[in-house]
Amino acid sequence: MEISSRCFMQIFEHVRCRISLDDYNDLLTSRIYMVYLLHQFGR
Tell me: the pLDDT tens digits for 30-43? 788 888 888 888 76
| pLDDT value of residue 9 | 80
The Cα angle at residue 27 between residues 25 and 28, in degrees rounded to 5: 65
**How many domains, in total, are found in the chain?**
1
Calculate mean pLDDT across residues 7-26.
70
Q: Does 28 or 1 have the greater pLDDT score?
A: 28
Distance between CA 3 and CA 12 in Å, rounded? 14
Number of other residues whose CB lies within 10 A of the CB of residue 24: 10
What angle do helix axes 2-18 and 24-42 make, rounded to 10 degrees? 180
Full residue range of the structural domain in which residue 35 is found? 2-42
What is the H or E stretch that residue 10 is in? helix 2-18
% of the chain residues with pLDDT over 90: 0
